[in-house]
Amino acid sequence: MRIKWVDYGKGFTILLVIIGHVALGTLESAKFFGNDAFILHLILEMMYAIHIPVFFALSGFFFKPIKQINRIWIRGYKRLLSLGIPYVVFSIIMVGMKFVGGASVRNQDGLTGLLNIYKVPIDYLWFLYALFFVDLFVSVISYFVKSKIWLSFLLVLGFIFETTYPASLPVISYILLWSPFFYLGFLLRDFHVSKRLAIFSFIVYVIHLPIFCVLYPNKEFLWGYWRVISVVCVFMMFYFFEHWHEKDSLFIEWCGVGSIVLYLVHAPVISVTRILLFKIGINSLWLQLIVQFFFGFGLSLIVLWLSERIRLIDFIFRPVKYLLKPQPSR
């Protein structure tokens, strides 16, 4: 049975992801300077402080600690199918699009990059890669460490270590940085965020925005120990999702149910849109942002709609539904 406020949370958060990626690509195009660059920097900080940490927490909300060792492999295999197949498919799509785009594309990933996706994800696909290993890591640790307090302590310790001494391997870095947010979502199943904590979290979030952007004008989003701000963002957003999801929420809930479709489709669409807009001479910042978001979000919704009607498209995004038989209820 689906939890409506969680679907609403995923739908709302995917909108923030799209806005963040629109701003990031526009800033990295190196076409905007001065006040325009500061506005993009502020938008990035507003979005990135929230969306990825909250997505990890929402994913962790459904986590179940491992009690039998064989369940680790079963869960890992299921996750490998559900995340691995769309990860590979869209890695191929991204490399193909970059090849066609040629010099217009910022980061080129050729055949070598495609063959190395097992250790270095391509662009925004890092989230699927990281989520797989974070889920697997926390599953393994939960089998050996039964205490929620001790497990939380170990994950926080890993976060501190990675923040102080960053790992050279992306997979290690992803695991240590994002596992605490994933497990925080699990802990929040039994702890409802109070209104007072949500208000305090919102104040901290708002105060940090101008401070960070002024102190670090060349940093695109949270880094180092500033990531701790994202913890209060999780509290703030969980309270918001749980108490506001009934207000005109059906469309946002639908986006949440299909959030993986929107996540995977929007990035290549906004990249192509941005390149085309520059080619035809549209250099207005706000026009760029609005048109990129309109096409990125709009075409993603069309693909989501098609995925509900065409099995082949649906298979790319939800392969487990077709490859694994549903388990009988006990």
Q: How far apart are CA 187 and CA 118, in angstroms?
A: 30
pLDDT at 161: 96
**For position 324, what pLDDT does the model report?**
83
**Mean pLDDT rounded to a whole number for the chain:** 92
Q: Give the pLDDT of residue 7.
A: 94
pLDDT at position 330 is 41
Residue 2: per-residue pLDDT: 81
The predicted-structure confidence for 200-231, as pLDDT tens digits, reads as follows 999 999 999 999 988 888 787 778 899 999 99
Say yes or no to pLDDT of 136 above 70: yes
Instruction: Please give the model's pTM, rounded to 2 decimal places.
Output: 0.93
Residue 20 pLDDT more than 90?
Answer: yes
pLDDT band at 303 (very low <50, low <70, confident <90, very high): very high
Tell me the C-alpha distance between 119 and 23, whole Å: 27
> For 147-194, what is each residue's pLDDT tens digit?
999 999 999 999 999 999 999 999 999 999 999 999 999 999 988 899
Range of weakest confidence among 70-79, 84-93, 177-186: 70-79
